[in-house]
Amino acid sequence: EVQLLESGGGLVQPGGSLRLSCAASGFTFSNYAMNWVRQAPGKGLEWVSVIGGGGGSTYYGDSVRGRFSISRDNFKNTLYLRMNSLGAEDTAIYYCAKNQAGPLSGLDLWGQGTVVTVSS
Amino acid sequence: EIVMTQSPATLSVSPGEGATLSCRASQSVSSNLAWYQQKPGQAPRLLIYGASTRASGIPIRFSGSGSGTEFSLTISSLQSEDFAVYYCQQYNNWPPLHTFGQGTKLEIK
């Protein structure tokens, strides 16, 4: 079955760190760029980051650049998001999403999301 | 940074009627635009890519049009399962700093 399954969310204190994972199955993972997209409670979608299929190219949204780091392990078919210096504004559902092809394409497969709550 | 603006914020339509949602880009994105549907408690789903191509499994009552800075998503003969929030997203520029519109909520009238 073609699917993405996120994990690693939870409650973290302000200033803390967290690593999210996204396990992919049912497709050739290394052939596709992958993204993280988040959604704060009651708000719209915010694109966070993208990584190329080989892992050598990474890009970030302005609100997370310098604090978050995207990576992937193509042997384990897993996408990661390392989040540092977390603040209340980072509280959201975090979705991983697959590009149709390279980074300049639509997002045709989404995980169910993992919830990150930043609070003391 | 390209800003995507959707209108209206909320659209009230009766089942069986049609609906048209709009999305405007602050600068040209060519045809590199996608539409997504999100229902409560669910992840978004890709409906349209390349401004007008339906994604796999998407009913023909969904159609997209436009290029450059003006885009629209039209849903003909609304079904109960179509009431949801719809987002546009551009993926034109390099580096690929994708941006979403703020969403349009399509609600039952």
pLDDT digits (tens, 9 = 90+) for A55-86: 989 999 999 999 999 999 999 999 999 999 99
Measured over the CA atoms of residue A60, residue A113, residue A115 and residue B4, the dihedral's sign is: positive
Chain centroid, CA B1 distance in Å: 20
Using CA atoms, how far residue B27 sits from A45, B7, B33, B69, in Å, is 20, 17, 12, 6
The whole-angstrom separation of Cα A75 and Cα A40 is 31
| Cβ neighbours of B91 in A, within 8 Å | 103-106
The whole-angstrom separation of Cα A3 and Cα B60 is 25
B94 touches chain A (CB under 8 A): yes
DSSP letter (8 states) at residue B55: P
**What pairs with residue A118 in β-bridges?**
A12
Is the pLDDT assigned to residue B49 strictly greater than 90? Answer: yes
Is the pLDDT assigned to residue A104 strictly greater than 90? Answer: no
Mean pLDDT value of segment B9-13: 97
Is the pLDDT assigned to residue B95 strictly greater than 90? Answer: no
Contact A45 B32 (CB under 8 A): no
Mean pLDDT value of segment A1-23: 98
| Cβ neighbours of A47 in B, within 8 Å | 89, 97-100
Is the pLDDT assigned to residue B18 strictly greater than 90? Answer: yes
Contact B98 A47 (CB under 8 A): yes
How sure is the predictor about B88, in pLDDT bands with cuts at 50, 70 and 90?
very high
CB A80 within 8 A of CB A27: no
Is the pLDDT assigned to residue B94 strictly greater than 90? Answer: no
| Cβ neighbours of A44 in B, within 8 Å | 85, 87, 100-103
Of B34, B43, B85, the CB nearest to A110: B43
B89 touches chain A (CB under 8 A): yes
Mean pLDDT value of segment A85-107: 94
- The pLDDT of residue B1: 85
How sure is the predictor about B75, in pLDDT bands with cuts at 50, 70 and 90?
very high
Contact A104 B94 (CB under 8 A): yes
Q: Which pair of tokens denotes residue B56?
A: 């796999």
Mean pLDDT value of segment B91-106: 90
Phi-psi region of A55 (alpha: psi -120 to 50; beta: other; left: phi over 0): left
Which strands make up the sheet holding B70-75, listed edge to edge? B4-7, B19-25, B70-75, B62-67
